[in-house]
């Protein structure tokens, strides 16, 4: 980098230079603000003036300024930063950019966050490991909704220090009163959100005022410049005073004589000889060896990638957490959390999402959305769903107990993401407030008679035959014939039919998307119980959403779920219209009707597909029976 | 104001708390090293069939060194892949084979045979088409042929503006396209590794390293690198402002053009006709580090392909370039 060389003259002793460099601490900061507040220009100015821009990069920005520049004949410094074609063309920032620079005193990672509301989700990535937030406000406009939204996100992520840069001071004639009133207003807002420290500085990214040096525009301000603030703000490293936690990433077994548990120390430290516990099993052992990146260690610290060898053979795998035996990590499966929603499809309570928390993975559903945050007022609103970029407080339930810490104690073991099970998009990011109940109290009771024993007793392998398809596709007719044929083969069966179940178990549910999700969740759970009882369960439900069918599949064991798509074209169903429902829906008398004004998500890879325009009811039932005979032995 | 106050407080407390903090804190390079190892292990644990792209340069050599550390005392549980455009320096190919043999790792070398059959080369078809067919298309062929669902690359965010925008885990569609407007968030280093069949990810363990960090690490760890990084007198011709080293007799000389012996070295390595050398006397890793600390140009300055047009790296990446 050019920076160090500039002031110190050409260095000659490489070891001394590198040692100084390696010992320099690092500040990771995120820059946020609304669109057009001048974030990219400010960062460009900071890099350029601190001599962290290479000549050819500056020359390229000069050339681009003629095409895209917004500063007349001057070089548009924002073009040093905005890396995507669309960003340069539109003059906005779409995704976060990471910039690396250093001065004689510190090294920096600057994360430039997008200002547009629709890209707010992109800033969570950059905020999650930032030490400080640099919040930009346009002196002419004052605090905007987006300023509050960003402040909410960074407060939720746990950033407690903010540098408030009031920018474009040149456009308000460096008016001290303007500066003070924005600072006062922000201090109040920030205080309500739990941001502890706000340090303000008046700047102009365009003229460079108070970026690296005072330029005479603000004689009333005698505080440090922006760079001086960044160089001196105190950095608290994550996890320094925490309890020892190692989320297990990988079990290292290169040969029978070595078994180590690899991962990165999330908090606290570990020493040879220390007593540790594997949180899922509760089994204790002692640390026999610590392998660091460069060999054996006496002690490992937060952020260090290690492999632990324990004195005893205990069962530990990916997703488990090794912790201090004196302060063992808790496990739980039900949490109160803050959640930021990041997907254009709204969050649906009761829907199953994949969750990732440290190295653990599983399924999760939001059982209760307590409130949504009103960004403008900071107040709480009642809500049924969360839309893109909304923040809420909810209860979340997992399909298994996982090791965790409250986020306030450890970022690395208390933050999680939710993933949509069909699109695979990362749809939400959350932080654990606290566990609602300790999983140890409600652990699954192991009964002496289990599924295997029951199926042996009745002599069949249980399974779920899940018939999905449009209304009028022929599901119920085929299901009925199929059950008759299975009975004739002396199989124990039960048929769960959509209409029939809605008369009883699910009579409280309507046909909105949320109710459809809950409808299928209950059916899936009932089917699971019946499989546990040893039955062959035939389910005949429209079940329009892929993610709910996948959830039902995940409830039973591998191979026990047979998805059967009763594939009848919409025109054919509509022509048959056995219950006259299509006619009603078309007239507008029936809302949310699948295929008409509510979507049906076609199965992508079902075990069986029945084309009812080609097969008779008997042939369809025989096809299912043939599939069962080919895939299972019949009796265990 | 508050900033300065903090500093003087820190100075007063220096003897006690700072000592303890230092003991609890990793150095800059140690932190980067551990972060990269974490990323590499995550891929091995989560993907069915990962591969490490090995381009023989300093970055992939450092990445390979990290991969070996991540799984010690075992070996990395994935093969290496080199996409050979047939225009690499001879020294690179020699170093590649030595390195794979020394570490005892599987090395897959892939050449776009179709491109070879059509006689594609940088002189006959221009740098852009050559790079597209022999590098980008070849890479896609290799990934598809072996069904790799995750591929490590040594790219760093400080190299180029569009790389500064990329995630550590970068999702690619079945057609290997990158969609920069729709990247997955990665808070707390929680990487979403779920894919639908056909999709894959490119993973960049060195995302947060700078060029100087890489050389510092090579120096500290004493990692062997290709000799082309060190200054030596090599036969050079000047073209379009680039110093091209004549590595074999395939380089067509213009009338009146004669290679001249010059002390040069390379900051980055690629296809020899497309990679410009720099005049330098730096003959060792410490020399390179000292030179780097005074340089005024970025390392990609010597790459002919980057400057075809504004945003050309982003476009190549969208098309599947690493």
pTM of the model: 0.77
**Residues B67, B223: contact at Cβ < 8 Å?**
no
The tens digit of pLDDT for each residue in A114-149 reads 777 777 777 887 888 889 999 999 999 999 888 888
Nearest to A396 by CA among A363, A367, A427, A437: A367
A411 touches chain B (CB under 8 A): yes
CATH of domain A330-435: 2.40.30.10
pLDDT at B1: 34
Reported as a single tens digit per residue, the pLDDT across A196-249 is: 899 999 999 989 999 999 999 999 999 999 999 999 998 776 666 789 999 999
Chain B residues with beta carbon closer than 8 angstroms to that of A129: 188-189
Locate the chain A residue with the closest alpha carbon to B68: A293
Say if CB A339 and CB A429 are below 8 A apart.
yes
pLDDT tens digits along A147-192: 888 898 898 888 889 999 999 999 999 999 999 999 999 999 998 8
Tokens of A212: 């690296």
Cα–Cα distance, B19 to A567 (Å, whole number): 71
Establish, for the pair of chains A and B, how many residue pairs have beta carbons separated by less than 8 Å: 233
Neighbour count for residue B104 (Cβ, 10 Å): 8
∠ at Cα B271 (B267, B275), nearest 5°?
Answer: 40
Question: What per-residue confidence (pLDDT) applies to B14?
Answer: 39
> Is the peptide bond prior to A413 cis by the omega test (within 30 degrees of 0)?
no
The interface predicted TM-score (ipTM) is: 0.87
Per-residue model confidence (pLDDT) at position A211: 93
Residue of A91, A76, A77, A97 whose CA lies nearest to A35? A91
Coil, helix or strand for A62? Answer: helix
Q: What is the pLDDT of residue B67?
A: 98
At A69, the pLDDT band (50, 70, 90 cuts) reads low
Architecture of domain A245-324: Beta Barrel (2.40)
Catalytically active residues of A, by annotation: 543
Q: Which of residues 264-293 of A touch B (CB under 8 A)?
A: 264, 269, 291, 293
Q: Report the greatest alpha carbon distance in chain A.
A: 96
Q: What is the DSSP letter of B15?
A: I
A350-381 pLDDT, tens digit each: 888 999 999 999 999 998 898 998 887 778 88
**Where are the alpha helices (H) located in A114-233, listed in sequence order?**
121-127, 145-157, 176-193, 226-232
Query: How open is the CA angle B186-A242-A438, to the nearest 5 degrees?
Result: 80
CB-based contact B7 A232, cutoff 8 Å: yes
Distance in angstroms (rounded) separating the CA atoms of residues A579 and A144: 54
Length of chain B: 322
pLDDT of residue B3: 34
CB count in 10 Å sphere of residue A261:
24
Q: How many CB atoms lie within 10 A of CB B231?
A: 22
- Identical fold between A245-324 and A330-435: yes
Region A14-232: CATH code: 3.40.50.300
Phi, psi of A563 (to 5 degrees): -85, 125
pLDDT at A392 over 90: yes
- Residue pair B135/B53 in contact (Cβ under 8 Å)? The answer is no
CATH code, residues A456-631? 3.40.50.300
> Which structure tokens are listed for A162?
């903010």
Task: Note the pLDDT of residue A443.
Answer: 37
pLDDT tens for A559-585 read: 899 999 999 999 999 888 888 888 888
Tokens representing B4?
């300065």
Contacts of A611 (CB under 8 A, 6+ apart): A567, A568
Predicted confidence at residue B17, as pLDDT, reads 45
- The answer to whether B280 and B233 have CB atoms below 8 angstroms apart is no
Which is it for strands A284-292 and A295-297: parallel, antiparallel or unpaired? antiparallel
* CB A433 within 8 Å of CB A406: yes
Please say if the pLDDT value at position A37 is more than 90.
Answer: no
Q: How confident is the model at residue A438 (pLDDT cuts 50, 70, 90)?
A: low
User: Do residues A135 and A195 touch, judged by C-beta distance below 8 A?
Assistant: no
Which residue's structure tokens are 């769960």? A496
List CB contacts (< 8 A) between A98 and chain B.
157, 164, 207-208
Strands A299-300 and A270-271: antiparallel
Q: Which residue has the tokens 């790799």?
A: B148
A275-286 mean pLDDT: 92
- Whether residue B28 and residue A26 make contact (CB cut-off 8 A), yes or no, is yes
For the CA atoms of A602, A603, A609, A615, the dihedral, rounded to the nearest 10 degrees, stands at -20
DSSP secondary structure code for residue A95 in this structure: S
B216 touches chain A (CB under 8 A): yes
Of all residues in chain B, the one with the smallest CA distance to A4 is B293
Structure tokens at A163: 């540098």
CB contact under 8 A, A417 and B192: yes
**Which residues of chain A lie closer than 8 angstroms to B1, CB-CB?**
199, 223-224
Contact B28 A107 (CB under 8 A): yes
Residue with tokens 């509050």: A148
Q: What tokens appear for B110 in the block?
A: 């892939």
pLDDT in tens, chain B (322 residues): 333 333 333 333 334 444 454 456 788 899 999 999 999 999 999 999 999 999 999 999 999 999 999 999 999 999 999 999 999 999 999 999 999 999 999 999 999 999 999 999 888 888 889 999 999 999 999 999 999 999 999 999 888 777 878 889 999 988 888 887 778 889 998 999 999 888 899 999 999 999 999 999 999 999 999 999 999 999 999 988 889 999 888 888 888 889 999 999 999 998 888 889 999 999 999 999 999 887 766 665 555 555 444 456 666 666 666 6
Contacts of B60 (CB under 8 A, 6+ apart): B52, B53, B54, B153, B154
Q: Is there a contact between A130 and A30 (Cβ–Cβ < 8 Å)?
A: yes
Question: Is A129 in contact with B188 (Cβ distance < 8 A)?
Answer: yes
Q: Which residues lie across from A107 on neighbouring strands?
A: A26, A102
Question: Among the residues of A533-599, which ranges form H helices?
Answer: 546-555, 570-576, 581-587
**Residue B254 at interface with chain A, using a CB cutoff of 8 Å:** no
CB A467 within 8 A of CB A479: yes
Q: Are B192 and A199 inside 8 Å of each other by CB? A: no
Tell me, what's the pLDDT at B130? 92
H-helix or E-strand containing B81? strand B80-83
Residue A17 pLDDT grade (very low, low, confident, very high; cuts 50, 70, 90): confident
Domain ranges of chain A: 14-232, 245-324, 330-435, 456-631
When the pLDDT of each residue in chain A is averaged and rounded to a whole number, the result is: 86
Tokens encoding A33: 């603000």
Q: What is the pLDDT of residues A407-422, one digit of tens each?
A: 988 889 999 999 998 8
Please indicate if any CB of chain A lies within 8 Å of the CB of B161.
yes
């Amino acid at each position: 980098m050019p920076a160090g060389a500039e002031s110190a003259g050409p260095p000659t002793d490489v070891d001394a230079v590198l040692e100084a460099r390696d010992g320099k601490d690092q500040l990771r900061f995120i820059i946020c603000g609304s669109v057009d507040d001048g974030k990219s220009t400010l960062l460009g100015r900071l890099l350029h003036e601190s001599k962290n821009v290479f000549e050819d990069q500056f020359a390229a920005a000069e050339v681009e300024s003629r095409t895209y520049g917004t500063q007349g004949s001057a070089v548009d410094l924002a073009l040093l930063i905005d890396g995507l074609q669309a960003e340069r063309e539109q003059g906005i920032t779409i995704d976060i950019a990471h910039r690396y620079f250093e001065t004689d005193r510190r090294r920096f990672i600057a994360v430039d966050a997008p200002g547009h509301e629709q890209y707010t989700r992109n800033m969570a990535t950059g905020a999650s490991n930032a030490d400080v937030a640099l919040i930009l406000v346009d002196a002419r406009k004052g605090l905007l909704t987006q300023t509050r939204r960003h402040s909410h996100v960074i407060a939720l992520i746990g950033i407690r220090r903010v540098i408030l840069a009031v920018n474009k001071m040149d456009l308000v004639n460096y008016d001290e009163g303007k500066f003070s009133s924005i600072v006062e207003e922000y201090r109040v807002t920030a205080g309500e959100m739990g941001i502890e420290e706000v340090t303000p500085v008046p700047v102009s990214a365009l003229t460079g005022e108070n970026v690296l040096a005072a330029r005479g525009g603000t004689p009333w301000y005698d505080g440090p410049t922006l760079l001086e603030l960044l160089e001196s703000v105190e950095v608290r490293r994550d996890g320094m005073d925490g309890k020892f936690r190692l989320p297990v990433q990988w079990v290292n077994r290169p040969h029978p004589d070595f078994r180590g548990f690899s991962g990165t120390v999330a908090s606290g430290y570990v020493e040879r000889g220390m007593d540790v516990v594997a949180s899922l099993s509760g089994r204790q052992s002692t640390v026999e060896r610590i392998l660091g990146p460069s060999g054996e260690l006496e002690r490992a610290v937060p952020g260090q990638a290690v492999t632990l060898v324990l004195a005893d053979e205990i069962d530990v795998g990916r997703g488990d957490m090794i912790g201090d035996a004196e302060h063992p990590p808790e496990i739980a499966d039900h949490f109160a959390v803050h959640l930021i929603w990041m997907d254009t499809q709204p969050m649906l309570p009761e829907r199953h999402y994949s969750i990732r928390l440290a190295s653990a993975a599983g399924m999760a559903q939001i059982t209760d959305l307590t409130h949504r945050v009103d960004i403008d007022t900071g107040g709480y609103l009642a809500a049924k769903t969360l839309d893109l970029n909304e923040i809420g407080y909810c209860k979340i339930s997992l399909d298994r107990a996982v090791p965790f810490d409250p986020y306030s104690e450890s970022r690395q073991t208390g933050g999680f993401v939710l993933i949509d099970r069909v699109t695979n998009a990362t749809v939400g990011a959350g932080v654990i407030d606290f566990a609602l109940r300790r999983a140890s109290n409600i652990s699954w009771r192991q009964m002496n008679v289990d599924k295997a024993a029951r199926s042996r007793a009745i002599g069949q392998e249980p399974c779920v035959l899940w018939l999905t398809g449009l209304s009028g596709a022929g599901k119920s007719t085929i299901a009925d014939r199929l059950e008759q044929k299975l009975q004739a083969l002396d199989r124990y069966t039960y048929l769960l039919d959509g209409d029939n179940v809605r008369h009883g178990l699910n009579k409280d549910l309507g046909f909105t998307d949320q109710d459809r999700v809950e409808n299928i969740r209950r059916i899936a759970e009932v089917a699971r119980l019946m499989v546990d009882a040893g039955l062959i369960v035939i389910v005949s439900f429209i079940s329009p959403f892929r993610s709910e069918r996948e959830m039902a599949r995940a409830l039973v064991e591998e191979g026990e779920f047979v998805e059967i798509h009763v594939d009848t074209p919409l025109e054919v169903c509509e022509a048959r219209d056995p219950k006259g429902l299509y006619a009603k829906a078309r007239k507008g008398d029936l809302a949310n009707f699948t295929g008409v004004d509510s979507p049906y998500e076609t199965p992508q890879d079902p075990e069986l597909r029945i084309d009812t325009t080609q097969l008779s009811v008997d042939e369809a039932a025989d096809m299912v029976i043939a599939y069962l005979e080919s895939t299972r032995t019949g009796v265990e | 104001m508050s900033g300065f106050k903090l500093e003087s407080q820190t100075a007063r407390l220096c003897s006690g708390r700072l000592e303890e903090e230092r003991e609890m804190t990793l150095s800059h390079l140690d932190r980067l090293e551990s972060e990269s190892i974490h990323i590499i292990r995550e891929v091995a644990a989560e993907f069915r069939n990962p591969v490490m792209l090995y381009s023989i340069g300093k970055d992939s050599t450092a990445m390979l060194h990290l991969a070996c550390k991540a799984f010690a005392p075992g070996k990395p549980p994935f093969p290496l892949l080199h996409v050979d455009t047939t225009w690499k320096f001879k020294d690179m190919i020699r170093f590649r084979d030595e390195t794979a043999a020394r570490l005892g790792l599987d090395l897959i070398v892939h050449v776009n045979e179709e491109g070879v059959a059509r006689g594609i080369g940088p002189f006959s078809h221009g740098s852009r088409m050559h790079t597209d067919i022999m590098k980008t298309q070849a890479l896609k062929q290799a990934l598809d042929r072996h069904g790799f669902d995750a591929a490590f690359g040594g790219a760093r965010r400080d190299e180029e503006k569009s790389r500064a925008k990329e995630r550590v885990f970068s999702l690619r569609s079945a057609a290997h396209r990158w969609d920069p407007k729709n990247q997955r968030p990665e808070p707390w280093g929680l990487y979403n590794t779920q894919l639908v069949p056909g999709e894959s990810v490119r993973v960049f363990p060195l995302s947060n390293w700078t060029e100087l960090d890489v050389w510092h690490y090579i120096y500290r760890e004493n990692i062997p690198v290709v000799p082309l990084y060190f200054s030596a007198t090599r036969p050079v011709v000047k073209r379009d402002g680039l110093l091209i080293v004549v590595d074999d007799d395939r380089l067509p000389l213009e009338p009146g053009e004669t290679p001249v012996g010059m002390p040069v070295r390379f900051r980055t390595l690629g296809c020899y006709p497309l990679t410009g050398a720099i005049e330098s006397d730096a003959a060792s890793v410490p020399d390179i580090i000292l030179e780097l600390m005074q340089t005024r140009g970025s390392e990609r300055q010597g790459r002919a392909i980057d400057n075809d047009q504004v945003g050309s790296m982003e476009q190549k990446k969208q098309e599947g370039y690493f």
